[in-house]
Structure formats: structure tokens, C-alpha cells
A and B are shown apart, each in its own frame.
Chain A
Amino acid sequence: EAQVTQNPRYLITVTGKKLTVTCSQNMNHEYMSWYRQDPGLGLRQIYYSMNVEVTDKGDVPEGYKVSRKEKRNFPLILESPSPNQTSLYFCASSLMGNSPLHFGNGTRLTVT
């Protein structure tokens, strides 16, 4: 089954404790991205990647890191999480260009 898999689904952590949210897709998609979803703000893009080893900042990249060492994986790294990063995070992928985005089921992160 074609899918984007994120782990974990739920994560509670404390301020300053490094964490990684994994994202993997099995559709051989070139493009992958991370979004955060906050009430009243919709989805905002954090980082995206057009291909292996090619990443770029989205609209809200501060406090986040990403890497794209393999085509299928695009982990999101929070080196020193803060409470304002409490949010619902989505990974998405697409074949390329204006192809539709395929979303994972989300990771709900709480930073205390």
C-alpha cells in the first residue's frame, strides 16, 4: 500500500531534550516536506526537499533541522525543543512538480 509513515504518533517531551520524528514514503517520490498545523493558522511549511541531499527552508524553519540522505526518508529534528513547538506535525510527499501531496497521519508533539 502506498503510504507516508510517520513515527511516533504522539510524543510528550521536556524543553531542551533533542528529538527526532521519522518520516518514510514507499512511493519513490522525489519531493518531501514537513508542515506544522496549529489552530487558526492552518498548515505552515517547515522544510522541504526536492531530492536526496537537497533541502530548503519553508515558512517557519526556526528551531528545526532536516536531512535527506535517502530518497524514502526525511526525518525532522528538534535539537532543543521549546513549548512553542507544541503542535501537530505532518510529513508529506509527492512525485514532483504539481503532483498531489500525500500526507502521513501526523505526529502530535507536546513540549513542557
Chain B
Amino acid sequence: AQSVTQLGSHVSVSEGALVLLRCNYSSSVPPYLFWYVQYPNQGLQLLLKYTTGATLVKGINGFEAEFKKSETSFHLTKPSAHMSDAAEYFCAVSESGATNKLIFGTGTLLAVQP
């Protein structure tokens, strides 16, 4: 069965510092991988997704993620954190790519310190 593990429920960085949010997945077939962001009092928004092809995926707001099959990882990074990046981030996996089979991780709350 597929699953997602997000390491670190809370991450704090200084403004301008590198953001690294970790996601590891388990899947018996090549996965489709997603990162979603949730701002306070809002629903989730898609940041980026990996389906096939290039393993480095660029998303909105300067975020990117790299699919590493050997490490079963899909970590999210941003070179320089901004105060507006403070939010909760969710990694998700779908074996078939079907939206109805999307499995979410438990989330990582990112705090950005001035």
C-alpha cells in the first residue's frame, strides 16, 4: 500500500534562509507526487506535482522538489524563505495518478522568523 511520511511536523527558518521540507513515500509502482500548501483559514493549493519525466519539478512561489527514486524521496525546497511562506505543507502520493486515490502526509508547519 502506498503511504507518505513527512519528517518534522514543525520547521522554523529565518527569513532569507533555505527551506527544506522532507517527504518520503512508499509505493509499489511509479508514483505521482504532489506538494500542497495550506495558508491559515484556507483550503489547500497545489504547489507542484511530479508525474513522469524530469525529476526536478518547479512550482509556484519559487518552490521546487526533486524526485529521487533511489531514496524514495520528494523533498520540497526554496532557496530563500519569505515571511509569506509561513503555512502548512502537505506531501501527497497517488500510485495511478487518479485524484480519488491521493494519500496525504500529516503535514509540516513552516514558521519563518524575521
State the A residues within 8 Å of B (CB). 4, 31, 33, 35, 40-45, 48, 50, 56, 58, 90, 92, 94, 96-106
Instruction: Give the Cβ gap from A58 to chain B, nearest Cβ, in Å.
Output: 8
Chain A facing B: main interface SS: strand
Given known pairs A31-B99, A50-B100, A100-B49, the reply for A106 and B41 (CB within 8 Å) is: yes
Kindly list chain A residues whose C-beta atoms are within 8 Å of the C-beta of B104. 35, 42-44
- In the bound complex, do residue B94 and residue A90 qualify as a contact, i.e. CB atoms below 8 Å apart? no
Kindly list chain B residues whose C-beta atoms are within 8 Å of the C-beta of A40. 9, 106
Max chain A C-beta neighbours (<10 A), residue from B45, B96, B99: B99
State the B residues within 8 Å of A (CB). 9, 32, 34, 36, 41-46, 49, 51, 90, 94, 96-100, 102, 104-107
- In the bound complex, do residue B43 and residue A42 qualify as a contact, i.e. CB atoms below 8 Å apart? no
A90 to B44, CA, bound (A): 9
Instruction: Give the Cβ gap from B6 to chain A, nearest Cβ, in Å.
Output: 8
Kindly list chain B residues whose C-beta atoms are within 8 Å of the C-beta of A92. 43-44
Given known pairs A40-B9, A41-B106, A42-B105, the reply for A97 and B98 (CB within 8 Å) is: yes
With A100-B34, A101-B46, A105-B43 given, name 5 new contacts (CB 8 A). Answer: A42-B90, A43-B44, A44-B104, A90-B44, A101-B44
The 3 closest A-B pairs by CB, nearest first: A103-B43, A98-B97, A42-B106
A58 to B9, CA, bound (A): 25
The residue in chain B whose Cβ has the minimal distance to the Cβ of A106 is B43
The residue in chain B whose Cβ has the minimal distance to the Cβ of A4 is B43
Kindly list chain B residues whose C-beta atoms are within 8 Å of the C-beta of A35. 104
A87 to B12, CA, bound (A): 26
- In the bound complex, do residue A98 and residue B105 qualify as a contact, i.e. CB atoms below 8 Å apart? no
A33 to B105, CA, bound (A): 17
21 contacts between A and B (CB under 8 A): A4-B43, A31-B99, A31-B100, A40-B9, A40-B106, A42-B106, A43-B44, A43-B104, A45-B100, A48-B100, A50-B100, A58-B100, A98-B32, A98-B49, A98-B96, A100-B34, A100-B46, A101-B46, A101-B102, A103-B44, A104-B43
